[in-house]
Amino acid sequence: MTTATWLGRPVEGVLFDLDDTLFDHRGAADRGVRAWLSGLELDGLLEDHVERWATLEAFHHERFQRREISHADQRRARIRAFLPGWDLADDALADDTFAGYLACYRAAWSAFADASVALERALGAGLAVGILTNGEQRIQETKVQRTTLASYDVPVFASSSLPAAKPDARAFHHACAAIGAEPASVVMVGDSLRHDVRGAHGAGLAGVLIDRVGRYRPDEVAGVTRIRSLADLRWAS
């Protein structure tokens, strides 16, 4: 039995968010969209297109997470809104065009260097470890398999395979049961204050905010445990 603790609390397990926690989604999306846009020859400033793409991604992916539209349809909605002058009414044409972005995005996939440190420490401390992510199961597993995260053999619990997405408590409870740990003895680590940290608290887990770039103001995270690097996660015993 493990004697690991986090802030004085006994810990049996840790759940990591994937995108922008272990996996550098934002970096890959940014590098990917720039590579893709360089071939599209759109009018206007590159930076404006990059920002518009990010806004559309956040908006439509959130709709997918709320189960308003399918994963395929959120991609189509994004590409149609991003290229309003293009004839993308046909799903196959929209999918083909989106595939151009996807190829550039996938070529840029990488995990954060401190992800390996965090996973090695958690596994070394005898903790049950899982990845709890809002996304499509197959895609999220592919991100793990194609990066340095693959060598840790950590199970992936993606919202498409769960009763609900984070911040719904059911997502956390399902993942805790799957790794064999009580919610009260599990720490959730993620970059989203709402999805990962507040969601974890609502489900009875401890929550840790990974905020690499100071995205949140101090008043927004009052009372929240915030770290700047996954290397800051240390399991006392």
Catalog residues that contact Mg ion under the rule CB under 5 A. 17, 19-20, 191
Output the smallest distance, CB 192 to Mg ion, in A: 5
What are the Cα distances from residue 76, in Å, to 60, 84, 108, 165? Answer: 9, 12, 21, 21
CB of 221 to Mg ion, least distance (A): 16
What's the one-letter identity of residue 25? H
According to DSSP, residue 208 is labeled E
- For residue 39, give the H/E element and its range: helix 25-40
Closest contact distance (angstroms) between CB of 18 and Mg ion is 7
134 with 166: CB under 8 angstroms? yes
Question: Residue 140 to residues 33, 44, 66, 83: CA-CA distances in angstroms?
Answer: 19, 33, 18, 26
In angstroms, what is the minimal distance from the CB of 21 to Mg ion? 5
87-90's contacts with Cβ under 8 Å and 24+ in sequence apart are none
Tally of CA atoms within 13 A in the half-sphere of 101 that contains its CB: 20
**Which CB, 6 or 23, lies closer to Mg ion?**
23
CB closer to Mg ion, 88 vs 193:
193
Nearer residue to Mg ion within complex by CB, 49 or 61 = 61
Cβ 45 to Mg ion shortest distance, Å:
28
Which C-beta is closer to Mg ion: that of 79 or that of 193? 193
CB 107 within 8 A of CB 28: no
> 3-state DSSP call for residue 1?
coil
Cis-peptide, bond into residue 218, ω within 30° of zero: no
* Closest approach of Mg ion to the CB of residue 115, in Å: 12
Identity of the residue, 88 or 118, whose beta carbon is nearer to Mg ion in the bound complex? 118
Residue 51 to residue 33: CA distance in whole angstroms: 10
Nearer to Mg ion, 20 or 141 (CB): 20
Smallest distance, Mg ion to C-beta of residue 53, A: 18
Distances (CA, A) of 169 to 63, 71, 165, 207: 19, 22, 9, 13
CB-wise, 5 or 148, nearer to Mg ion? 148
